[in-house]
Amino acid sequence: MIHVENLCKDFYSNKKYEGFGGAIKSLFSNEKIVKRAIDDVNFHILEGEIAGYIGLNGAGKSTTIKIMTGLMTPTSGKCIVNGLEPYKNRKMHTKNIGVVFGQRTQLWWDLPVSESFSILKRIYDIPDERFKQTFSELKEVLDLEEFYLTPVRNLSLGQRMRADLAAALLHNPKIIFLDEPTIGLDIIVKSKIRESIKRINELKKTTVLLTTHDLDDIEQLCNKIIIIDKGKIIYNGTLNEIKDKYAIYRKVIFQIKEQKNLNFNEIFKIDFKDLTFVETTNNLEIKFNRATIQVQELVNFVMQNYNVKDITIQEPQMEDIIKEIYSN
């Protein structure tokens, strides 16, 4: 569905010089500075996949999205979206994609949501019957009934985001690009948006490319993750693969009734790199490498040697995994 091969994008700017003399020199100099925003980017997204495209600010996410949506032309390389090169076939390409930007809207501010949808129906030349059917499905999935006749300016952020998502899906696009779709939303509304995206993906088999800084979005929605840093892809794989590769440590916390100060490294003959522990009067906290020791073995030993009141096993959070990748 989306094929990106050896994609590069360079931006050119005039070289600046310091001081007053430098300012004068800049006026007459033709010297250019080249900044490579994306550098030899390669990835593939299959039909029906929900892929997360993540990275720090300035990593190259927005530039890639602009090329895939046809807003920008690459310096070199190839980008094929649903069989088309977006920047060469913009009109045809836009009929097959939907775009939602978290801080922007494609709705008309002073018009009711219903009128915005009617305008979009004409823009995309959607037949009446298909529009009625699609809107009926979206109305149910996104729960639009309560604010369908309300002017856009009077909508809450969560309502506007649901309306924007519906607007991007009215013409039944095969691919939808979501840029920070849950930014600024509260927990309940975020959950509704995520569930809506899941249902739309299941109902329509819509391919979704999601860029976000909210790693809960990634964990709950995506089956594929692409991480970009300084214009280069540093990870491309499934959610399970990234956890298997980078989430190698687990943490077990025991609530205990008495302190015994046992040395777990000596007992299990494991180096401190693979097992660290902190014991206090009420708690025993053990962090261990799951490839070196089994959690069941650890729990059994502690249960046999301590009076345990409660056990908590903590899995690594996606945020910690991403930090680990960047630190390496």
For the chain, percent of residues with pLDDT exceeding 70: 96
- Number of neighbouring beta carbons within 10 Å of residue 131: 18
Q: How far apart are CA 84 and CA 93, in angstroms?
A: 7
pLDDT digits (tens, 9 = 90+) for 184-229: 777 888 888 888 888 888 888 889 999 887 778 888 888 899 999 8
- Number of neighbouring beta carbons within 10 Å of residue 176: 23
Lowest-confidence region among 36-40, 99-103, 130-134, 225-229 = 99-103
Summary mean pLDDT of the chain? 85
Kind plus residue range of the DSSP H or E element containing 98 = strand 97-101
- Cβ neighbours for 6, distance < 8 A, ≥ 6 positions apart: 40, 41, 42, 76, 77, 78
User: Are 155 and 113 a contacting pair, CB within 8 Å?
Assistant: yes
pLDDT for 163 beyond 70: yes
pLDDT for 45 beyond 90: yes
Overall size of the chain counted in residues: 328
DSSP for 189-240 reads HHHHHHHHHHHHHHHH--EEEEE-S-HHHHHHH-SEEEEEETTEEEEEEEHH
The values of phi and psi at residue 85, to 5°, are: -90, 110
Q: How far apart are CA 60 and CA 65, in angstroms?
A: 9
Lowest-confidence region among 12-16, 27-31, 198-202 = 27-31
- Number of neighbouring beta carbons within 10 Å of residue 14: 11
User: Are 280 and 259 a contacting pair, CB within 8 Å?
Assistant: yes
Reported confidence tier of residue 28, pLDDT bands at 50, 70, 90: low
pLDDT of residue 44: 93
The type of residue at 36 is: R
> What average pLDDT does range 63-80 have in this prediction?
91
pLDDT of residue 1: 84
> What average pLDDT does range 224-250 have in this prediction?
85
pLDDT of residue 75: 92
What's the pTM? Answer: 0.76
pLDDT digits (tens, 9 = 90+) for 142-161: 888 888 899 988 988 888 88
Q: How far apart are CA 216 and CA 201, in angstroms?
A: 18
Reported confidence tier of residue 41, pLDDT bands at 50, 70, 90: very high
pLDDT of residue 194: 86
Question: Longest Cα pair distance anywhere in the chain, in angstroms?
Answer: 80
User: Are 315 and 290 a contacting pair, CB within 8 Å?
Assistant: no
